Chains A and B, each alone.
Chain A
Amino acid sequence: MIWIFLLLLIAFVVLAYVAGRALAVRRSQGAKSHSRPSQHGLYALIWVGAPALAMLIAASLFSTSIEQQMMRAGAPDSVAQLEPFRREAFFADARLVGAGQEARQIWPAPYAEELPAEGRRAHRIASTLSWGGGVAALIAAVLGGLFVLTRIRPDLRARNKVEGWITGVLFACSVVAVLTTLGIIFSLVIDSLRFFSMVPITEFLFGTKWSPQIAIRADQVGSSGAFGAVPLFAGTFLIMLIAMAVAAPIGLFSAVYLSEYSGRKTRAMVKPALEVLAGVPTVVYGFFAALTVGPALRVFFNGIGDMLVGGPLNGLGVYLSLVQNQMALVAGAVMGIMLIPFVSSLSDDILNAVPQSLRDGSYAMGATKSETVKKVLLPAALPGIAGALLLAVSRAIGETMIVTMAAGLAANLTLNPLETVTTVTVQIVTLLTGDQEFNSPKTLAAFGLGLTLFVVTLLLNIVAMRIVQAYREQYD
Chain B
Amino acid sequence: MKSRILRAPEGTSNGGASEPATLTTVPTVGAHASAPMGPIKIAARDVSVFYGDKQALFDVSLDIPDKTVTALIGPSGCGKSTFLRTMNRMNDTIPGTRVTGRIEMDGGDINDRKIDPVLLRAQVGMVFQKPNPFPKSIYENVAYGPKIHGLASTKGEMDEIVQKSLKRAGLWDEVADRLHSPGTGLSGGQQQRLVIARAIAVEPEVILMDEPCSALDPIATAKIEELIDELRERYCIVIVTHSMAQAARVSQRTAFFHMGKLVETGDTEEIFTNPRERRTLDYITGRFG
Interface residues, chain A, with chain B CB atoms under 8 Å away: 263-264, 355, 357-368, 371, 375-376, 379-380, 474
Q: A357-B128, A379-B135 are in contact. Are A364 and B90 (CB under 8 A)?
A: yes
Flag whether B130 is at the interface (Cβ < 8 A): yes
* Interface contact B121-A365, CB-CB below 8 Å: yes
The 5 closest A-B pairs by CB, nearest first: A366-B122, A364-B126, A357-B132, A366-B121, A361-B132
In the assembled complex, the CB of B126 is this many whole angstroms from the nearest CB of chain A, namely: 4
* Interface contact B121-A360, CB-CB below 8 Å: no
What separation, in Å, do the CA atoms of A252 and B133 have in the docked complex?
Answer: 24
Which residues on B sit within 8 Å (CB–CB) of A364? 88, 90, 121, 125-126, 128, 199
Which residues on A sit within 8 Å (CB–CB) of B145? 365-367
* Interface contact B144-A375, CB-CB below 8 Å: yes
In the assembled complex, the CB of A114 is this many whole angstroms from the nearest CB of chain B, namely: 84
- Chain A, residue nearest B149 (CB): A366
What separation, in Å, do the CA atoms of A368 and B202 have in the docked complex?
Answer: 15
- Chain B, residue nearest A367 (CB): B148
Which residues on A sit within 8 Å (CB–CB) of B199? 364-365
Which residues on A sit within 8 Å (CB–CB) of B118? 366-368
- Cβ 8 A contact of A366, one of B95, B119, B128, B134: B119
- Cβ 8 A contact of B128, one of A361, A371, A376: A361
Contacting residues of chain B (114-145) with chain A, CB-CB under 8 angstroms:
118-123, 125-126, 128, 130, 132-136, 144-145
Flag whether B93 is at the interface (Cβ < 8 A): yes
Which residues on B sit within 8 Å (CB–CB) of A371? 148
Other A-B contacts than A365-B202, A367-B145, 20 sampled, CB-CB below 8 A, are A357-B130, A357-B132, A358-B134, A360-B90, A360-B93, A363-B90, A363-B121, A364-B125, A364-B126, A365-B125, A366-B123, A366-B149, A366-B202, A368-B118, A371-B148, A375-B148, A376-B134, A379-B134, A379-B135, A474-B135
In the assembled complex, the CB of B227 is this many whole angstroms from the nearest CB of chain A, namely: 18
Flag whether B67 is at the interface (Cβ < 8 A): no
What separation, in Å, do the CA atoms of A375 and B128 have in the docked complex?
Answer: 19
Flag whether B198 is at the interface (Cβ < 8 A): yes
* Interface contact B132-A365, CB-CB below 8 Å: no
Which residues on B sit within 8 Å (CB–CB) of A359? 93
* Interface contact B128-A380, CB-CB below 8 Å: no
* Interface contact A358-B132, CB-CB below 8 Å: yes
* Interface contact A264-B95, CB-CB below 8 Å: yes
In the assembled complex, the CB of A275 is this many whole angstroms from the nearest CB of chain B, namely: 22
Flag whether B195 is at the interface (Cβ < 8 A): yes
What separation, in Å, do the CA atoms of A347 and B204 have in the docked complex?
Answer: 35
What separation, in Å, do the CA atoms of A355 and B132 have in the docked complex?
Answer: 9
* Interface contact B93-A363, CB-CB below 8 Å: yes
* Interface contact A360-B144, CB-CB below 8 Å: no
Which residues on A sit within 8 Å (CB–CB) of B195? 361
Could you say which of B123, B132, B133, B145 has the most chain A C-beta atoms within 10 Å of its C-beta?
B132
In the assembled complex, the CB of B159 is this many whole angstroms from the nearest CB of chain A, namely: 19
Which residues on B sit within 8 Å (CB–CB) of A358? 132, 134-135
In the assembled complex, the CB of A472 is this many whole angstroms from the nearest CB of chain B, namely: 14
Which residues on B sit within 8 Å (CB–CB) of A375? 134, 144, 148
In the assembled complex, the CB of B265 is this many whole angstroms from the nearest CB of chain A, namely: 25
What separation, in Å, do the CA atoms of A362 and B122 have in the docked complex?
Answer: 11
What separation, in Å, do the CA atoms of A364 and B89 have in the docked complex?
Answer: 9
- Chain B, residue nearest A359 (CB): B93
What separation, in Å, do the CA atoms of A460 and B132 have in the docked complex?
Answer: 33
Which residues on B sit within 8 Å (CB–CB) of A363? 90, 93, 121
In the assembled complex, the CB of B3 is this many whole angstroms from the nearest CB of chain A, namely: 15
Which residues on B sit within 8 Å (CB–CB) of A379? 134-136
Which residues on A sit within 8 Å (CB–CB) of B198? 361, 365
What separation, in Å, do the CA atoms of A356 and B125 have in the docked complex?
Answer: 17
What separation, in Å, do the CA atoms of A440 and B123 have in the docked complex?
Answer: 77
Q: A264-B95, A360-B90, A371-B148 are in contact. Are A365 and B122 (CB under 8 A)?
A: yes
Contacting residues of chain B (185-219) with chain A, CB-CB under 8 angstroms:
195, 198-199, 202
Q: A360-B90, A364-B90 are in contact. Are A380 and B121 (CB under 8 A)?
A: no
In the assembled complex, the CB of B75 is this many whole angstroms from the nearest CB of chain A, namely: 23
Q: Can you report 29 A-B residue pairs in the complex whose CB atoms are below 8 A from each other?
A: A263-B95, A357-B128, A357-B130, A358-B134, A360-B90, A360-B93, A360-B128, A361-B198, A363-B90, A363-B93, A363-B121, A364-B125, A364-B126, A364-B199, A365-B125, A365-B148, A365-B199, A365-B202, A366-B118, A366-B119, A366-B123, A366-B148, A366-B149, A366-B202, A367-B118, A371-B148, A375-B144, A379-B135, A380-B134
